[in-house]
Amino acid sequence: MNAAPAVEAIDLVKHFDGTRAVDGVSFVVPEGSVLGLLGPNGAGKTTLVRMLTTLSVPTSGTGRVAGFDVVRQPTEVRRSLGLTGQAATVDEILTGRENLKLIGSLYGLPRKYVREATERLFARFDLLDAADRMAKTYSGGMRRRLDLAVSLLAAPPILFLDEPTTGLDPQSRSGLWAVLRELVSEGTTLVLTTQYLEEADQLADEIVVVDKGRVIAAGTPTQLKDQAGRASVVVTLTHAADLERAAELMSSCSQEVHVERGSRRLTAQAGGLGDMTRIAAVFETSGIELDDLGLARPSLDDVFLHLTGRRADAENASNPSTEGVAS
Ligand SMILES: Nc1ncnc2c1ncn2[C@@H]1O[C@H](COP(=O)(O)OP(=O)(O)OP(=O)(O)O)[C@@H](O)[C@H]1O
Ligand SMILES: [Mg+2]
């Protein structure tokens, strides 16, 4: 049993001339858990991963992986980890299968293991049909998946993934999440960087939000969402013509009602389920037809907006999850 945390960053700093890419970042990743490093472009995510995976020497501070110091014990660190970088590293003129065979022999893995693992990984990543084609004929998403298969081949106990699902379609993305969850349930420690709030929410036990080289927030997804404010009741009307009357009705239950002009939606600040039930009851007797009524908690996107005053990524712009539909 290794008592040391799987990964530790202690006041890590990396300066490039004039740029404080990473400016004093600390976190701890317990064995078998998932840390999500969340932040916008240029936040310092890749630089952090590069320091922890021995690809870049910290200006100051300490990094440890599996208890080994990234500067003084780089060989031991490398032996403990797998890394998939932001840019695909597959060999273009080899086929998919040959790419895994090559990595297998570089790592000195038994051939039988490599053959079986290749089949398993290619099946998981939907690459079996393309396995014997040269990688240069692969689409961007296929390369990404091959790259992941390569980094998973040696089944490293600690895996760093730098924006693993960037450029993947939604189906491949959720396929990859499933694979990652499986690995974690088998004991792998995972550090992943992402710009996608949903991804961090789905996978991470702990999230560290970085911006401009610094940690601006840290906690579980739920803790972060709780910081962003209270829940709200979201009502979607069947007919836009009812907006004014609906707003009046909701105002009798909540101090703060917001009408989304140009849509059929209204939101009211709420303390919890009690407020939702009261609003539902008011509508029940009003004769106003509703498409939907539910309680929305702040999304991670709201968290980011709350912390930085701007949206983290336009693509995932707020889609608050709605619970307790009662219409
Ligand atoms: N080799 C380098 N030389 C000079 N500046 C660098 C170098 N690598 C990164 N930077 C700068 O450090 C900052 C952090 O970059 P980094 O790549 O770590 O961000 P990131 O969070 O990974 O962004 P992205 O989401 O775009 O991948 C940026 O301002 C970047 O321009
Ligand atoms: Mg990056």
Main-chain phi, psi angles of 194, to 5 degrees? -160, 155
Tokens 């993934």 locate to 161
Q: Whose CA is nearest to atom 8 of ligand 1?
A: 47
Ligand 1 pocket test, pick from 14, 15, 16, 163 with the greatest ligand atom count within 8 Å of Cβ, gives 16
pLDDT attached to residue 326: 33
Domain range 7-219, CATH class: alpha beta
Q: How close is the Cα of 46 to the center of ligand 1, in Å? A: 7
pLDDT > 70? residue 77: yes
Q: How close is the Cα of 159 to the center of ligand 1, in Å? A: 21
Per domain, the residue ranges of the chain are: 7-219, 229-300+307-323
Q: Which ligand is closest in space to the CA of residue 25?
A: 1
- CATH architecture of the region 229-300+307-323: 2-Layer Sandwich (3.30)
pLDDT attached to residue 232: 84
pLDDT > 50? residue 20: yes
Residues contacting residue 20 through CB under 8 Å, at least 6 positions apart: 13, 14, 212, 213
Span 285-290, average pLDDT: 93
**Confidence tier at 297 by pLDDT (50, 70, 90):** confident
Q: How close is the Cα of 63 to the center of ligand 1, in Å? A: 18
The 10s digit of each residue's pLDDT in 309-324 is 766 554 433 333 333 3
Neighbours of 317 (CB within 10 A): 12
Ligand 1 pocket test, pick from 12, 14, 15, 19 with the greatest ligand atom count within 8 Å of Cβ, gives 19
pTM for this prediction? 0.76
Average pLDDT, whole number, for the chain? 86
The 10s digit of each residue's pLDDT in 244-286 is 999 999 998 887 888 887 889 998 888 777 888 899 999 999 9
Rounded Cα distance between 193 and 237, Å, is 39
Rounded Cα distance between 96 and 311, Å, is 38
Q: Which ligand is closest in space to the CA of residue 194?
A: 1
Nearest atom in ligand 1 to 210's CA: 21
Angle, vertex CA 39, rays to CA 36 and CA 52, nearest 5:
55
Q: What is the DSSP letter of 51?
A: H
Nearest atom in ligand 1 to 213's CA: 14
Rounded Cα distance between 217 and 211, Å, is 9
Q: Which ligand is closest in space to the CA of residue 50?
A: 1
Q: How close is the Cα of 151 to the center of ligand 1, in Å? A: 23
- Count of H-run helices and E-run strands, the chain: 11, 15
Radius of gyration of the chain (CA): 24
Which residues does ligand 1 sit against, CB inside 6 Å?
Answer: 16, 19, 21, 39, 41-47, 86, 195
pLDDT attached to residue 253: 86
Please answer whether residues 96 and 127 qualify as being in contact, where contact means their C-beta atoms are separated by less than 8 angstroms. yes
The 10s digit of each residue's pLDDT in 215-230 is 999 999 888 877 766 7
Q: How close is the Cα of 310 to the center of ligand 1, in Å? A: 20
pLDDT > 80? residue 88: no
pLDDT > 90? residue 43: yes
Rounded Cα distance between 319 and 300, Å, is 10
Rounded Cα distance between 322 and 305, Å, is 19
Span 125-151, average pLDDT: 90
Span 118-131, average pLDDT: 92
The 10s digit of each residue's pLDDT in 144-194 is 889 888 888 888 899 999 988 887 778 778 878 888 898 899 899 999 998
- CA 180 to chain CA mean position, Å: 11
52-56, 83-87, 212-216: least confident range = 83-87
pLDDT > 60? residue 209: yes
Tokens standing for 262? 């140009």
- CA 78 to chain CA mean position, Å: 24
The answer to whether 7-219 and 229-300+307-323 have equal CATH topology is: no
Rounded Cα distance between 183 and 276, Å, is 39
pLDDT attached to residue 102: 92
More confident call, 50 vs 125: 50
Tokens standing for 138? 């692969």
Please answer whether residues 197 and 172 qualify as being in contact, where contact means their C-beta atoms are separated by less than 8 angstroms. no
Rounded Cα distance between 158 and 220, Å, is 20
Ligand 1 pocket test, pick from 17, 46, 313 with the greatest ligand atom count within 8 Å of Cβ, gives 46
Please answer whether residues 266 and 258 qualify as being in contact, where contact means their C-beta atoms are separated by less than 8 angstroms. yes
**Confidence tier at 300 by pLDDT (50, 70, 90):** low
Q: How close is the Cα of 221 to the center of ligand 2, in Å? A: 21
Q: How close is the Cα of 40 to the center of ligand 2, in Å? A: 9
Share of the chain above pLDDT 90, in %: 53
